[in-house]
Amino acid sequence: MIPRAGHSVLRQARTQLNRRTGPTPIASLSALARLLSSLAVLEQKDGKLNHGSLGAVTAAQKLGGSITGFVAGGNIKAVAAEAAKVSGIEKIIAVDNAAYDKGLPENYAPLLVENIRKGGFTHIIAGHTAFGKSLMPRVAALLDAQQISDITAIEDEKTFVRPVYAGNAIATVESSDDIKVITIRGTAFAAAEAEGGSASIEDGVDPKAECTTEWVSENLAKSDRPDLATAGKVVSGGRGLKSKEDFDRIMLPLADALGAGVGASRAAVDSGYADNSLQVGQTGKVVAPQLYLCAGISGAIQHLAGMKDSKVIAAINKDADAPIFQVADVGLVGDLFDKVPELTEKLKQ
Amino acid sequence: MSALRILIPVKRVIDYAATTNLTRHYIQVKPRVNKAQTAVETAGVKHSMNPFDELSIEESVRIREKKSYPHGVSDIIAFTCGPPKSADVLRTAMAMGADRSIHVETKDGDEIEPLSVAKLLRAVVEKEKVDLVVLGKQSIDDDAGQTGQMLAGLLGWAQATQASKVSFEGDGKGVVVEKEVDGGTETTRSNLPMVVTADLRLNEPRYASLPNIMKAKKKKIEKITAEELGVDLGKRLKTLKVIEPPPRQGGGKVDDVDGMIAKLKELGAI
């Protein structure tokens, strides 16, 4: 752990250097970078590393300093070996205990805290995923740190950028905590390269904390289509689809024609046209694909919060005044029941 | 086992942006950043209860009404930490069915961080001998999504976040919660006492009826200070600036599907 004074010294020193050489990435100031050490909390499921969680490594690279990856679960060796190949990681801490398989925060948080204390890390980084959202605030509280959630950019080792008010404002915050506990927005930090690294693997400490919660079951939507959160293209349907049958009949062929993931507005999800897990927006998934093509979505700000960082937005809506057209790069006013099948056919050609 | 004592923390926030297509007029209450770029403008803006907190009240009241907990519910306490006007959301909570309220008053414009709120809640839980805390999964202003988990961590209690279904086992010990996770749902079973955070699909909150609004005026709001609860509200995060995101420029409309395909190709999207 770096005492609080350490930070201001670090900052001062860098300001001096910046004056001479202009803005310098932290990583290149090796003497200072050595003071920073980040722990990237990596997710695993059924003995496989979740590559979506490698954005934490990318964020750690932006901070500079050493990067350690953390994995825990039963038969963790294969996951640790996979994580050791991730570019940029120096060391993997692995805890082999099936009690951590389901990532239950009640025992995972004390586990992480023990390893953070032992390793003296200055920054703890995880994805703002269901796992990260449930675990990291608990870790932060145990470390008496105020977590910084869902960041989209790193300015320096204690200054971070995060959207608030459903993305309608962007706040820059400076943390005075000794240990920074951070979750990152996946769409803002691309996953680190899964190959090219050669980290050492070390056993972590295992406090074997008691857990008053047990995992019972899960019910995950099965789909061969690209995962919504990481898909390069997303097609999304809203209330205008009118029924689940129409949603499936109209939107799914378009998704297949484009090789796209499928999303939905809250209205479509609440009306039962699409599964909950497909919801895009403030309370659902945040996506930022190359192409976001939506039909029958008016563009409420809660929905825009989940997709407005998409590279290209295309919209089909019969209401020419729908707010979605204010953000769409390509807008088409028309009945989606005609236009979407026509689009699907023409894309197939 | 005895009857449940439930705590429901609520927060007063800028009103959930309303959209309606009843009239083809889209009413959007969009938060605006102030001129000094230090915060979002709150003066003269409509405020109401954080929508996720309405779900936690509704769930607590349903546990009582449906007698889903075998030993019943003896007390539902609403809590807030905020400026004097936050008392409004406590009144709403009591009109929806909470029995009484606790208000830790702060100055207008003071933002209290989730860690501090969690510490206040820990003190209240211990003081009031609460066995179940139901919170919203996040507040729609700060979008942090931390308070419930932090509280569970501080208390060493079980937690279930983003709950879409809560049920109790017959012995009154186990709580089975279905949670929204990436790609679907997950079900866990925890022992009381515990912390649950509500997701949108947990229930459909009721409107407070006029008679209940009148009755709520007679219910008690106890004011207590952070000092009395032994909590320092000092901040760990300093907001350096708040800006509006760069506006997206709509690219205009095309006439037909061919036009759309051509434009998408031109933009390199397909």
What's the confidence (pLDDT) of residue B197? 98
Q: Which candidate from A138, A213, A266 shows the least CB-CB separation from B149? A: A138
Q: Do B140 and A165 touch (CB under 8 A)?
A: yes
Query: Which residue among A131, A213, A330 sits closest to B264, beta carbon to beta carbon?
Result: A330
A244-252 contacts at long range (C-beta below 8 A, 24 or more positions apart): A244/A272, A244/A273, A244/A274, A246/A273, A246/A337, A247/A273, A247/A274, A250/A295, A250/A336, A250/A337, A250/A340, A250/A341, A251/A295, A251/A340
Q: How far is residue A134 from each of residues A168, A177, B35, measured CA to CA in Å?
A: 24, 21, 35
Measured distance CA(A162)–CA(B239) in Å, rounded: 11
Q: Closest-CA residue in chain B for A258?
A: B270
Contact B149 A298 (CB under 8 A): no
pTM: 0.90
Q: Which of B103, B97, B101, B11 is nearest to B60 (CA)?
A: B97
Q: Which uninterrupted H or E stretch holds B82? A: strand B73-82
For residue B34, give the CATH number of its domain. 3.40.50.620
A32 min Cα distance to partner chain B (Å)? 23
Shortest Cα–Cα distance, B66 to chain A (Å)? 24
Total tally of structural domains belonging to chain B: 1
Q: What residues of chain B lie within 8 A of the CB of A144, using their CB?
A: 115
For residue B16, the model assigns a pLDDT of 73
> Which residue from B40, B113, B256 is facing A169, i.e. has the nearest CB?
B40
Contact A175 B30 (CB under 8 A): no
Question: A224 and chain B: CB distance < 8 Å anywhere?
Answer: no
Q: CA A32, A35, A36 angle in degrees (round to 5)?
A: 105
At A70, give phi and psi (nearest 5°). Answer: -125, 130
| A137/B146 touch (CB, cutoff 8 Å), yes or no | yes
pLDDT single digits (tens) A289-341: 999 999 999 999 889 999 999 999 999 999 999 999 999 999 999 999 999 99
How close B187 gets to chain A, by Cα (Å)? 5
Please, which residues have CB within 8 angstroms of residue B129's CB and are 6 or more apart in sequence?
Answer: B5
pLDDT single digits (tens) A153-167: 999 999 999 999 988
* Cα–Cα distance, A254 to A273 (Å, whole number): 16
Residues of B in contact with A326 (CB under 8 A): 248, 250
Residues in binding site of A for FAD: 239, 265-266, 279-283, 296-303, 317
Mean pLDDT of A225-232: 89
User: Is residue A117 within 8 angstroms of chain B, CB to CB?
Assistant: no
Cα angle B157-B163-B168, degrees, rounded to a multiple of 5 = 70
What's the pLDDT tens digit per position in A234-251?
999 999 999 999 999 999
Average pLDDT, chain A: 91
CA distance B112 to B231: 12
d(CA B104, CA B230): 12
Would you call B147 and A137 a contact, using CB atoms and an 8 Å cutoff? yes
The answer to whether the CB of A264 falls within 8 A of the CB of A287 is no
Query: Can you give the pLDDT at residue B6?
Result: 98
Q: What is the model's pLDDT at position B17? A: 59
- Among B237, B249, B263, most A C-beta atoms within 10 A, so best to mutate, is B237
What are the C-alpha distances in Å from B167 to residues A220, B4, B197? 20, 14, 14
The predicted pLDDT at position B108 comes to: 87
The pLDDT, as a whole number, for residue B223 is: 98
Residue-level pLDDT at B19: 36
List chain B residues with pLDDT less than 70. 1, 17-29
B253 interaction partners in chain A (CB closer than 8 Å):
320, 325, 330-333
pLDDT over 70 at A27, yes or no: no
> Cβ A134–B161 below 8 Å, yes or no?
yes
Closest listed residue to residue B263, CA positions, set A313, A272, A78: A313
Interface of A with B in 234-273 (CB under 8 A): 258, 266
Is residue B245 helix, strand or coil? coil
- Could you tell me if A194 lies within 8 Å of chain B, comparing CB atoms? no
For B182, nearest residue in chain A (alpha carbons): A130
B245–A163 C-beta distance less than 8 A: yes
Residues of B in contact with A275 (CB under 8 A): 184
Considering only CB atoms, which chain A residues are within 8 Å of B151? 141
Overall average pLDDT of the A40-65 stretch: 95
Of B153, B183, B253, Cβ closest to residue A332: B253
Residues from chain B contacting residue A291 (CB–CB below 8 Å): 264, 269-270
In chain A, pLDDT over 90 holds for what percent of residues? 83
A2 versus A279: the higher-pLDDT residue is A279
- Residue in chain B lying closest to A222 (CA): B183
pLDDT of residue B251: 86
**Cβ-based neighbours of B113, under 8 Å, separated by 6 or more:** A146, B235, B236, B237
Q: What is the mean pLDDT of residues A112-136?
A: 97
Range of B51's domain? 4-267
- Averaged pLDDT, A257-262: 97
Q: What residues of chain B lie within 8 A of the CB of A161, using their CB?
A: none
Sheet holding B174-181, edge to edge: A213-220, B184-191, B174-181, B158-168, B194-198, B132-136, B4-9, B73-82, B100-105, B221-224
